[in-house]
Amino acid sequence: MGSLRFEGREVPVVTGDTVASALYRAGVRTFTRSLKYHRRRSLYCGTGECPNCLITVDGAPGTRSCVTPAREGMRVEREHGWPSTDRDLLHVADQLHRLMPVGFYYKTFIRPRFAWPLAERVIRRATGLGRLPDDRRVEPKTARHLRTQVLVVGAGTAGLTAALDATRAGERVAVCDEAPIGSRLAPGPTSDLVRSLEAEVRALPGVEVLDRHAALGLYEGTLIPLAAEDELVQVHAERVVVATGATESHPVFPGNDLPGIWLGRAASRMVALHGVPIGERVVVAASTPEGIEHLRALVEAGTNVVAAIVPADLLDEVPRDVEAIVGGSLDQAQGRRAIGAVFVREGGHERRIACDALVLSIGIAPRDALVRMAVDERVQVVGDAALPGDEPSLHGDGTLCLCEDVSIHDLAQAWDEGFRSSEILKRYTTATMGPCQGAMCGRALACVARDLAAASSVPAERAGVRPTSRPPARPVALETLASSVHEVLEKRTSLHEVHEAAGARLGWSGGWKRPFSYGDWREEHRAVRERVSVMDVGTLGKFLVAGRDAATLVDRMFPCRTEDLGPGRSRYLLALDEAGYVMDDGLLCAL
């Protein structure tokens, strides 16, 4: 038991807490504000996929509080909103939709030109995730290379099973997961199975387990960089098994972004794992067996579930003391600061149910960002990541992109303006371009584009194709990408022993050991200026250019003549980059 420091007050921390669970237990409900309209944002996905819980921790903005372990003495702040996140006067933007239509930044700040610098400063202050610290001490990080036959990305049941199968087949295996294995699962059968498989995998000598290592992308080679808190591991694998699982679908309906609306995994973890109630009157919409697991976890933890919206084939799975609404559909959610009621359509009639929490578990979408980065690499997809995914639920004009405040109405307006493919809609509206990188809304964007194309008289090929997946697949700090290599191979020139015999003080120059001085530097300086010096250039690269068109190639590469350079002769040359700037120099020798 300890505490963290939150905006001037102490917040208790319980063992196993994330920053989000500690703050929610302490009564914090608004974690941030949306980018464009400054709408309240609260906990939603619980797995680090959405932007709703981004805060500043120990000076680092944009931290995902729902997956960040709480530690004693942490300094936690909310950055978005003026004068504060709770009382944000910029929330008036939510009433000015007509003045800020889709793509307004391309249309509005054109004339007068002198006003743009002023508007730019206002926009910078009103948006963003916080200020980067300019006095923060950066702990040194290292980079290393790891070569293995099989890399398994994701340590759930499918990933751990794949690791066991590969090891039994005699292959070298590495397993990575962005979180401690099993830490994001609510107590239950799935959690117990993962713990059992983890123990079995860790007991095998041929497996390297890299938990708390997030896979950033899949590059040609096959190269997969893994980012951890203190290192960057560049994994070179002969084949990759993607077992990244799936995220719960983000349904779109009016009011779908109100605080108090949860995805099932977040709600069940908050209640069952952290012991924090999510509401006094809770409505659950469950369309999958996993959704029923979440419903049971809530009920067993003492949550007052006033209604459960389920399909007919799951009716028998609903706990007896919970009212089941069979075949109902969510029309909308209403509330001012948070959800206060849901409207459910049942048998052609609409019904209002008062509630202060709505839990949604109506489908899954595979986490396939890494898979879609592969071209010719050997990639195998297993588990939920291999599923086709459920059709996104799109109803009315709700918020499709939580990161960028993009609604279905915005997409339809952009389509009418001529932006007629999911890729172009993405770039014009900025949907899927926020912190979640389309994890919540990528599939929904493609579905909306497909539906708009079907209803349009203007042909639009490939309108509903998913937008391109680009690294990094998970958020990563620039300081991690800039990690220095700690596996330095010491390279020596052919005169290394001569330098040592002369009493040289050797130092590093890249990966080479080179002499920096032999004693009194003043005497060495005079020797170079007044007498003779010899330089060991054994570290320089050497290229042999041969063949019928060798002279033509060299003529085009370097700004010097070669036709009058006889055998055994050399010429000083400059090396230029594509823009014509000097990048190096050297000698051109004719053999």
Render pLDDT for 50-108 as a digit per residue (tens, 0 to 9). Answer: 999 999 999 889 999 999 999 999 999 998 888 899 999 888 888 888 878 888 777 77
Quick one: pLDDT band at residue 487, thresholds 50, 70, 90? low
- Higher-confidence residue of 489 and 557: namely 557
- CATH annotation of 142-246: 3.50.50.60
- On the question of a cis peptide bond just before residue 432, with omega within 30 degrees of 0, the verdict is no
Asked if pLDDT for residue 109 goes beyond 80, the answer is no
Topology (CATH) of 542-591: Alpha-Beta Plaits (3.30.70)
Q: What gap in Å lies between CA 258 and CA 128, rounded to an integer?
A: 20
Topology (CATH) of 2-96+119-126: Ubiquitin-like (UB roll) (3.10.20)
Asked if pLDDT for residue 361 goes beyond 90, the answer is yes
Is the fold of 142-246 the same as that of 252-361? yes
Quick one: pLDDT band at residue 110, thresholds 50, 70, 90? confident
Tokens of 553: 């190639």
This prediction's pTM:
0.81
What's residue 114's pLDDT? Answer: 81
Domain 252-361 has CATH 3.50.50.60: yes
Quick one: pLDDT band at residue 486, thresholds 50, 70, 90? low
- Evaluate the CA torsion angle 322, 324, 329, 334 in order and state its sign: negative
For 282, counting Cβ atoms within 10 Å of its Cβ (0-12 exposed, 13-18 middle, 19+ buried), the class is: buried
Topology (CATH) of 395-475: Arc Repressor Mutant, subunit A (1.10.10)
What's residue 350's pLDDT? Answer: 92
Least confident of 114-128, 266-280, 557-571: 114-128
Nearest residue to 284 via CA among 238, 317, 244: 317
What's residue 101's pLDDT? Answer: 85
Which helix (H) or strand (E) is 550 found in, with range? helix 550-557
Give 252's DSSP letter: B
Average pLDDT score over residue span 279-308: 95
| Strand runs labelled E in 243-281 | 246-248, 261-263
Nearest residue to 297 via CA among 193, 185, 390, 155: 185
- Residues of the chain by 3-state class (helix, strand, coil), percent to 5: 25, 25, 45
What φ, ψ does residue 194 adopt, rounded to 5°?
Answer: -65, -40
Asked if pLDDT for residue 253 goes beyond 70, the answer is yes
What's residue 23's pLDDT? Answer: 97
Q: What gap in Å lies between CA 7 and CA 23, rounded to an integer?
A: 11
Question: What distance lies between CA 126 and its chain's CA centroid?
Answer: 23
Domain boundaries, the chain: 2-96+119-126, 142-246, 252-361, 395-475, 488-534, 542-591
Q: What gap in Å lies between CA 303 and CA 281, rounded to an integer?
A: 8
